[in-house]
């Protein structure tokens, strides 16, 4: 291999890796709220009527942090996935061209491009599966905490109402005084 070939390969690989990182970042920050909503709808199917309700409920009760729950593992996973995908696709095209004896600049048949893409996709999937599990668990953990807070607020409100009702039952004179004040 000549020095110019090595330089070209290093340049191509760097472009593939940087493109994959940029693609992964753009993908995660544009789609994470919808992914969080998808995970919640799958985990708590009876809690929400539709995706919009899930999205607005999450935004209201969990804020931006809730919408982007699990984004760090997702960011790691997708930047790795896209980088590996771009890098492996480019590498597999070179390997197949080498096997076929084609020059660098010559195009391949569609079958060869599909083969390159398939192998690259398998390699990137191997990396992303474990990180996707971690991301989903983080999303569910944050959702569970938010549901607990809402449940606690409802319990406190119900207890206050019960105490007030008990006070009214025990002090009919106080109720009469209050009625007269407001009449």
Instruction: Give first-to-last CA distance, the chain, whole Å.
Output: 98
Q: How many CA atoms lie within 13 A of 5 on its CB side?
A: 6
Domain segments of the chain: what residues?
3-142
> Tens digit of pLDDT for each residue in 26-47?
999 999 999 889 888 887 788 8
> Tens digit of pLDDT for each residue in 60-118?
988 998 899 878 878 887 888 888 889 889 888 888 888 988 887 788 888 988 998 99
Q: Please provide residue 120's backbone torsions phi and psi, each rounded to the nearest 5 degrees.
A: -65, -40
Q: Which CATH number is correct for 3-142, 1.10.8.50, 1.50.40.10, 3.50.50.60, 1.10.287.130? A: 1.50.40.10
The model's pTM: 0.61
Q: Where are the alpha helices (DSSP H) in the chain?
A: 3-43, 51-67, 71-100, 110-170, 172-182
């Amino acid at each position: 291999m000549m020095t110019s070939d090595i330089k070209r390969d290093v340049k191509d690989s760097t472009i593939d890796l940087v493109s994959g990182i940029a693609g992964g970042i753009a993908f995660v920050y544009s789609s994470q709220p919808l992914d969080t909503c998808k995970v919640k709808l799958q985990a708590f199917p009876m809690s929400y009527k539709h995706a919009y309700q899930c999205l607005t409920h999450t935004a209201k009760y969990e804020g931006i942090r809730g919408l982007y729950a699990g984004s760090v593992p997702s960011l790691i996973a997708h930047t790795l996935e896209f980088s590996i995908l771009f890098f492996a696709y480019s590498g597999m095209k070179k390997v197949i061209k080498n096997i076929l004896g084609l020059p660098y600049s010559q195009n391949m048949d569609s079958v060869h491009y599909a083969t390159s893409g398939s192998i690259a996709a398998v390699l990137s999937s191997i990396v992303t599966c474990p990180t996707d599990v971690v991301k989903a668990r983080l999303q569910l953990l944050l959702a569970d905490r938010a549901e607990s807070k809402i449940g606690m607020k409802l319990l406190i409100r119900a207890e206050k109402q019960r105490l007030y009702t008990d006070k009214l039952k025990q002090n009919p004179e106080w109720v009469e005084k209050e009625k007269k004040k407001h009449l």
